[in-house]
Chains A and B, each alone.
Chain A
Amino acid sequence: MTREEIYGKLNEVFQDVFDDEDITVNDATVASDVDGWDSLEHINLIVAVERCFGIKFTMGETTGLKNVGEMVDKIIAHLG
């Protein structure tokens, strides 16, 4: 899956989890850019991303993410 394809699916996950059809994210997106992305919603986001791509992040991977770009890097690494 290309980075672009990953973003296609990832945008849908963000739109569902934050219930906003207009959200699009990119490498530089951080939590404060998205309405409602707090620590509780972060949990749902991670679970939805895992389910969407059929992967399971390790505990360490999800705690230190700086931006969406890093999340995509991790997804790519898992998809191998």
Chain B
Amino acid sequence: MKQLEYPYDSDYILRKKKAIRRELLAREGIRYIDKRIAILGGSTTSDIKLILELFLLNYGIRPEFYESEYNQYYEDAVFGNPELEEFKPDLVFVHTTTRNIANYPAVTDSPEQIDALLDETMARFEQIWKSLSEKYKCTVIQNNFEQPYYRLLGNSDFTNIHGRLNFINRLNERFCQYAQSHQNFFINDINYVSAVYGIKKWADPGDWYRYKYALSVSAIPDFAFNLARIIKAVYGRNKKAFALDMDNTLWGGIVGDDGPENIRIGHEDAESELYTEFQQYIKAHKDLGILLTVASKNDEENALAGLARPDSTLKQDDFLIIKANWDNKDINIAKTAQEINIGADSFVFVDDNPVERALVEQQIPGISVPEVGAPETYIDVIDSNGYFEVTGISEEDIKRGGMYKANMERAKASASFDNYDEYLKSLEMKAEIKPFAPVYMARIAELTNKSNQFNLTTKRCSQAEIENFASDPSYITLYGRLEDKFGDNGVVAVTFGHAEGDVFHIDLWLMSCRVLKRGMEFAMMDELINEAKSRNITKIKGYYYPTAKNKMVRDFYELQGFTKINETEEGDSTWELDLGQPHKSGNVAIKVN
């Protein structure tokens, strides 16, 4: 919903929040994921909860909330609370601020006393986080501290160890270190958000003393949006790719009219420098695993000539796919999405032309089309929307662009074989199929949240849940990594399920679409059957729950030799495999472990 995308109108959101909520819930065809979110507050949180809900609904996340009693964050976390325990949070957000720091250094304190105070303050928070992660094994999001709105020591508040600002900066550094060394723990950087908002306006002592809001009520939308960005990233709702216009988006001018020698890019003048900074910003996304593509109304020859300029930061091979032609852009983006095998709704479309933006937005449901405005605001508008909010940079991310390229090479190679099995054998595939291992937990969680098409039950899991399944003896968990002569695909298949007596239930089965039709699902099934047999399981039950996107696996269990034992009116089906009967493997070309 446009009203909830940056640059949004905070006043409008605050005033119309009830109507916005109604409108969000009335939308049709949204595939929500449901999450239980506990807010443990050190100050009033009621509007934070309500506005956060709007942003989450807009991201396709339907939250159910637990809200601690006023200022009971420490007690709830450390001593437990039956209501919270029963709530079983998927995620706990600890809303503390500079107002919750019980003691600041006094000017008469010695350096040792101040160090001790710092340790003590930090220990209290570590106690909270440790207790939460032990009790609930869930994701924790914690605010850092905003800077104080007055400075007793003036500029020395920053450098002198007695300064509040100095103390807060040291605490923030400790929070940062903790986040760096703990998984499933994220910082909501209110130190940054409040600085952008204006520290003095943010503090608003009036709202504190009247309502016990630790931040100005007017700042709540900015606060909640920043928090929602982290939550949606944790649950795999980030975007995956850019579709970029060229003329007056990547450079100044129109390459077809002006000629490549006359477009504004490089360092010759202010406008060229501005576009160069934007190209650098876009290019930097490649290392985060964001795919770059072009959707431009141009003759291809001219488009490439623009990128071929020696002073163009972006080069032709930075892009996975370049569509420069005269078709409508929504058609080009849809084709690009199909070729890469990702959803068209996982693109961010950047174009200076409002007419093109409106068309693409209308034609492709769910795609993000930032209102980029003038060239000097491109970066701010894209960046502040947090489409690609980073919660950890994995090996996968860094290699992703290369993997998609290798996939396109494979597609070319397959065209030269008449017999598909021969082609598969020529790929020299090797798979590693093993129980969930610590190094892959993040990737496995990511896959459960991102995979839509080859996904039988579409069960979404946080990393904490994945880790729990891995350590539960009644569970069998398997990940599959696939390598071939063109490169390493990384972890591409995941399954897990649980045993009840001698029956095993498959709770989740998914595979990345980048390895479709390679036989990986059969190699996975062989391993699952072996493991099940070693645990004296006699029967495996599989489940298929249809969604708008997973029709491709409707016959999955049939192809695996299962028998259908039930199907509901909604199309949910249950399948069974008797392990007493011989099983024929469908894997022809993958060497396992």
**A interface residues (Cβ-Cβ under 8 A, vs B):** 13, 16-19, 40, 43-44, 47-48, 51-52, 58-59, 62-63
The answer to whether A48 touches B206, judged by C-beta atoms less than 8 angstroms apart, is: no
Can you show 25 pairs from A to B with CB atoms below 8 A apart? A13-B15, A16-B16, A16-B19, A17-B15, A17-B18, A18-B18, A19-B18, A19-B22, A40-B47, A43-B207, A43-B210, A43-B211, A43-B217, A44-B15, A44-B47, A47-B14, A47-B217, A47-B218, A48-B11, A51-B11, A52-B15, A59-B209, A59-B210, A62-B210, A63-B210
- Tell me, yes or no, whether B46 is within 8 Å of chain A by CB: yes
- Closest chain A CB from B331 CB (angstroms): 40
Say which residue of A40, A51, A58 sits within 8 Å of B206 (CB atoms). Answer: A58
**B interface residues (Cβ-Cβ under 8 A, vs A):** 11, 14-19, 22, 46-47, 206-207, 209-211, 213, 217-218
Complex Cα distance, B211 from A6, in Å, reads 26
Closest chain B residue to A21 by CB distance? Answer: B19
Complex Cα distance, B22 from A52, in Å, reads 22
B207 proximity list for chain A (CB < 8 A): 43
Say which residue of A40, A47, A59, A62 sits within 8 Å of B46 (CB atoms). Answer: A40
- Chain A interface SS verdict (over half): helix
Complex Cα distance, B204 from A58, in Å, reads 11
- Other than A18-B18, A44-B17, give 13 A-B pairs with Cβ distance below 8 A: A17-B18, A19-B18, A19-B19, A43-B213, A44-B217, A47-B218, A48-B14, A48-B15, A51-B11, A51-B14, A51-B15, A59-B209, A63-B210
- Closest chain B CB from A22 CB (angstroms): 14
Residue of B22, B47, B213 with most chain A CB atoms under a 10 A cut-off: B47
Complex Cα distance, B210 from A63, in Å, reads 8
The answer to whether A43 touches B15, judged by C-beta atoms less than 8 angstroms apart, is: no
Closest chain A residue to B206 by CB distance? Answer: A59
Complex Cα distance, B218 from A33, in Å, reads 26
Closest chain B residue to A48 by CB distance? Answer: B15
- Closest chain A CB from B46 CB (angstroms): 5
Closest chain B residue to A57 by CB distance? Answer: B206
Residue of B11, B22, B210 with most chain A CB atoms under a 10 A cut-off: B210
- Closest chain A CB from B198 CB (angstroms): 14
- Closest chain B CB from A15 CB (angstroms): 10
Complex Cα distance, B33 from A49, in Å, reads 36
Complex Cα distance, B217 from A62, in Å, reads 14
B18 proximity list for chain A (CB < 8 A): 17-19
Closest chain B residue to A12 by CB distance? Answer: B15
